């Protein structure tokens, strides 16, 4: 039998009358008799890191059974429909979060590096940024960072006199000294993802103006370079590299075909309802995946020391004081309800990805979603054993449908390293990692 099927390049576009339209993944882009996973058309995984503060009531999180025949406890019960793509990992510790409690807990979750005691941040590069560097550079936005609360509004508990405020305000560090701000305003997030302007026509016009400005700056800088000395030319080269990177991202923005996306109305700002706010952030991240705007996202469900109340589920107690439950069964039961509620909002997002086609599967099939906290028992402020769950197939690299227990106090960095490897990011170590968790 002779196979003569020719295949289109994955980046093929339709061109005519000065316009170009990107094509979806077509069978014609797959060489004859070649499995999709072995072609350049194979989807890269999408990754998301969803952080919730104040730990978990661990006996309402951790299954009693190990392996595939595991039971799902109340906090994670909303994820039961996705059990085949759910992995729960028990026994890990992050000793690097120990110290000034809430002030360094978020910022060390994805790095497993002890930060330097200084108001000028210096910790570790987080794995979301390691992933962005390897799997998301061909998208307009290598990564997106979001949160429901601005830490400036929750008080001084996220700051420390020795460590400052940086580690409590974000879970993402691009470099050891560069914490990334978390966007809390859905309107600003929408504009970052899909351009400024309230209508498609306005966004197109504004994007065109911005491109022209960049061209002008680049041309003038190039002329200036001819008149400068060596050190100034080196500085200018750095500047031009930045300009070129911005131009690349703007061009990526313009190449998008968003005609098949059901874009929501541009948000007016931050909703008064926490549930609406959180759902809106999740929805825009799902949309950014569908539009191939980015492959890496982070989200803080709530801030450390959050005093938010959850009247929508009948709990009027402030979140942070409630987390100091002193083993009071009534307070612990309320915390479980809040933690279950967070899982419900996350499960709604997971369901969206499960129903979103992506190549030869769903977006969930091609995603690695890390859902967890860098604290365990909130009453004790400890960091062992950490609540950690993975959802998604990771392009066939994540087994799913299992509860894994590792030896007590295994560095959580081993989990972080494993997630990067499953995403195809070849790094030798993360933080104090000692190796992979092979069962994942």
Weakest mean pLDDT among 7-21, 288-302, 405-419 = 7-21
Question: 231: Cβ–Cβ under 8 A, 6 or more apart, which residues?
Answer: none
Instruction: For residue range 395-428, list pLDDT tens digits in order.
Output: 999 999 999 999 999 999 999 999 999 999 999 9
The closest alpha carbon to 305, from 155, 100, 150, belongs to 155
Q: Per-residue confidence at 206, pLDDT binned at 50, 70, 90?
A: very low
Query: Is the predicted pLDDT of residue 47 greater than 90, yes or no?
Result: yes
Average pLDDT of the residues in 344-370:
95
Weakest mean pLDDT among 19-33, 156-170, 228-242, 310-324 = 19-33
Query: Is the predicted pLDDT of residue 241 greater than 70, yes or no?
Result: no
Structure tokens at 392: 């998604």
What pLDDT was estimated at residue 100?
87
What pLDDT was estimated at residue 27?
44
Contact 399, 439 (CB under 8 A): yes
Average pLDDT of the residues in 276-294:
90
Query: Is the predicted pLDDT of residue 51 greater than 60, yes or no?
Result: yes
Higher per-residue confidence, 266 vs 206? 266
Higher per-residue confidence, 143 vs 100? 143
Question: 233: Cβ–Cβ under 8 A, 6 or more apart, which residues?
Answer: 225
In the chain, the largest separation of any two C-alpha atoms, in whole Å, equals 74
Query: Is the predicted pLDDT of residue 222 greater than 70, yes or no?
Result: no
The gap from C-alpha 266 to its chain's centroid, in whole angstroms, comes to 22
Query: Is the predicted pLDDT of residue 71 greater than 70, yes or no?
Result: yes
Question: 253: Cβ–Cβ under 8 A, 6 or more apart, which residues?
Answer: 140, 195, 207
Burial of 260 per CB tally in 10 Å (0-12, 13-18, 19+): exposed
Weakest mean pLDDT among 52-66, 150-164, 374-388 = 150-164
Contact 170, 108 (CB under 8 A): no
pLDDT over 90 percentage in the chain: 62
Q: At how many degrees (to 10) do helices 230-255 and 200-225 cross?
A: 160
Weakest mean pLDDT among 10-24, 59-73, 276-290 = 10-24
In Å, how far are 133, 219, 234 from 244, measured between CA atoms?
Answer: 17, 11, 15
Burial of 146 per CB tally in 10 Å (0-12, 13-18, 19+): buried
What pLDDT was estimated at residue 213?
42
Average pLDDT of the residues in 190-219:
58
Helices (H), 157-290: 166-169, 186-194, 200-225, 230-255, 274-290
Q: Per-residue confidence at 78, pLDDT binned at 50, 70, 90?
A: very high
Rounded Cα gap, residues 305 and 323, in angstroms: 9
Average pLDDT of the residues in 329-355:
97
Weakest mean pLDDT among 24-33, 67-76, 193-202 = 24-33
What pLDDT was estimated at residue 114?
97
Higher per-residue confidence, 267 vs 54? 54
Instruction: For residue range 163-187, list pLDDT tens digits in order.
Output: 999 999 999 999 999 999 999 998 8
Structure tokens at 147: 């949160």
Question: 176: Cβ–Cβ under 8 A, 6 or more apart, which residues?
Answer: 113, 121, 122, 123, 124, 125
Weakest mean pLDDT among 101-110, 254-263, 285-294, 363-372 = 254-263
Mean pLDDT of the chain, nearest integer: 84
What pLDDT was estimated at residue 194?
74
What pLDDT was estimated at residue 263?
67
Weakest mean pLDDT among 149-153, 332-336, 405-409 = 149-153
The closest alpha carbon to 159, from 179, 189, 138, 139, belongs to 179
Query: Is the predicted pLDDT of residue 203 greater than 70, yes or no?
Result: no
What pLDDT was estimated at residue 28?
44
Contact 160, 295 (CB under 8 A): no
The closest alpha carbon to 82, from 370, 332, 358, 390, belongs to 390
What pLDDT was estimated at residue 266?
73
């Amino acid at each position: 039998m002779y196979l003569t099927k020719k295949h289109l390049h994955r980046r093929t576009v339709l061109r005519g009358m000065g316009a170009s339209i990107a094509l979806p993944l077509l069978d014609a882009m797959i060489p004859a008799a070649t499995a999709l996973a072995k072609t350049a058309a194979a989807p890269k995984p999408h990754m998301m890191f969803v952080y919730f503060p104040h730990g978990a009531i661990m006996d309402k999180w951790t299954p009693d059974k190990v392996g595939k025949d595991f039971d799902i406890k109340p906090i994670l019960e909303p994820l039961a429909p996705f059990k085949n793509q759910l992995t729960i990992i028990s026994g890990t510790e992050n000793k690097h979060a120990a110290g000034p409690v809430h002030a360094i807990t978020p910022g060390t979750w994805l790095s497993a590096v002890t930060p330097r005691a200084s108001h000028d941040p210096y910790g570790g590069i987080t794995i979301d940024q390691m992933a962005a560097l390897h799997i998301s550079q061909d998208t307009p936005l290598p990564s997106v960072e979001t949160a429901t609360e601005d830490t400036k509004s929750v008080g001084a508990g996220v700051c420390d006199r020795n460590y400052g405020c940086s580690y409590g305000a974000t879970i993402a560090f691009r470099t050891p000294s560069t914490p990334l701000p978390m966007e809390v305003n859905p309107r600003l997030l929408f504009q970052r993802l899909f351009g400024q302007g309230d209508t498609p026509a306005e966004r197109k016009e504004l994007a065109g103006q911005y491109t022209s400005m960049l061209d002008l700056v680049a041309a003038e800088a190039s002329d200036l370079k001819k008149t400068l000395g060596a050190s100034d030319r080196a500085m200018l080269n750095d500047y031009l590299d930045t300009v070129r990177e911005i131009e690349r991202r703007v061009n990526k923005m313009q190449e998008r075909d968003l005609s098949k996306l059901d874009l929501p109305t541009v948000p007016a700002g931050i909703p008064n309802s926490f549930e609406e706010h959180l759902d809106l952030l999740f929805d825009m991240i799902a949309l950014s995946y569908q539009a191939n705007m980015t492959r890496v996202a982070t989200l803080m469900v709530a801030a450390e020391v959050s005093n938010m109340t959850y009247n929508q589920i009948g709990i009027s107690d402030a979140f942070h004081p409630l987390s100091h439950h002193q083993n009071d069964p009534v307070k612990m039961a309320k915390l479980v309800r809040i933690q279950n509620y967070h899982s419900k909002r996350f499960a709604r997002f997971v369901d969206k990805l499960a129903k979103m086609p992506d190549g030869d599967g769903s977006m969930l099939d091609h995603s690695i979603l890390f859902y967890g906290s860098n604290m365990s028992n909130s009453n004790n402020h400890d960091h062992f054993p950490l609540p950690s769950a993975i959802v998604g197939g990771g392009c066939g690299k994540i087994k799913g449908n299992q509860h894994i227990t590792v030896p007590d106090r295994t560095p959580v960095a081993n989990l972080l390293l494993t997630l990067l490897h499953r995403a195809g990011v070849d790094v030798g170590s993360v933080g104090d990692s000692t190796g992979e968790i092979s069962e994942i």
